[in-house]
Amino acid sequence: MNHTRDIPQTFWRDDRLPWLELRSTWRSRQAYKRHSHPQLSVGAIIEGETRCLCAGQEYLLQPGI
């Protein structure tokens, strides 16, 4: 997989909560380019890890953190 559009993922959105989205993916190894979301985007890391840049600081995100 070379493009984020090829990642098996599911988004949940509801018109009654336009400021919120939930995203689910499984065993994704694709890195995302730096980006932002206009709404609160919530995800949970069950396995593995990822890095997140927020307010100029990079964070390593792992399950349970």
Q: Which structural domain range is residue 10 located in?
A: 4-61
The amino acid occupying position 65 is I
How many domains does the chain fold into? Answer: 1
Is residue 17 a contact partner of residue 32, using CB atoms and an 8 Å limit? no
Cα 18 from Cα 41, distance rounded (Å): 11
Cα 5 from Cα 17, distance rounded (Å): 24
- Buried b / exposed e over 31-58, threshold 16 CB at 10 Å, is eeeeeeeeeeeeeeeeeeeeeeeeeeee
What would the pLDDT profile of 9-64 be if each residue is shown by its tens digit?
788 899 999 999 988 777 666 667 777 788 888 888 888 888 888 888 988 888 87
Q: Is the whole model's pTM more than 0.75, yes or no?
A: no
